[in-house]
Chains A and B, each alone.
Chain A
């Protein structure tokens, strides 16, 4: 696609529910990144994928967070048993390869946990 596409753009859910956030990177980009932006804060790295290599999960805040990237393209970030502190904007970015800059960002998913 022309840009990084994320869905849904907004998600409101109750505490304790699971949520899935989707990212479709720019066509041909092999590197895909997830970041979290809490209110008034900068972006916090969560995870990145590069091709078929094992992902770098070093930024995931707890084992409730997981991510997959199927077929080297679309990625899904899953948060299980959501907590109120998970409320944030989740941003996805892609680049041609890992290490290639800049990373191109999607519009994000605004997640609100009630």
Chain B
């Protein structure tokens, strides 16, 4: 059965800290991995990773995929209270179009 597991499930840090969120996957015919940020309602797209070892960056956020370890990390540097959200990781199966989501990491940034 295809599975995506995220850790930690919950994380509380102070503003300015750097955090690393983890995602591991067991997905047959893996194609790509996506990261989403979910604040109150709609998940919003952050990154799509298809190639191993190539870092994607957007401002203070960055992510990288390790196909050997079947995992990905999402880094956030100099965290701000606006980074508080649930971060979702999802795997895409080659030839199938649904996303297989992890449980999410609830990140709380305290001022």
Q: Which residues of A come within 8 Å of B, CB atoms? A: 3-4, 31, 33, 35, 40-45, 48, 50, 56, 58-59, 91, 98-99, 101-108
B73 at the interface (CB under 8 A from A): no
* Interchain CB contact under 8 A, B88 and A106: no
- Assuming the contacts A43-B88, A48-B97, asked whether A101 and B48 have C-beta atoms less than 8 A apart, the reply is yes
Chain B contributes a number of interface residues (CB within 8 A of A) equal to 23
Q: Which residues of B come within 8 Å of A, CB atoms? A: 4, 6, 32, 34, 36, 41-45, 48, 88, 90, 92, 96-104
* Dominant secondary structure at the B interface: strand
Q: Which residues of B contact A108 (CB under 8 A)?
A: 41-42
Give the docked Cα–Cα distance between A98 and B96 (Å): 9
- Assuming the contacts A101-B32, A101-B34, asked whether A91 and B42 have C-beta atoms less than 8 A apart, the reply is yes
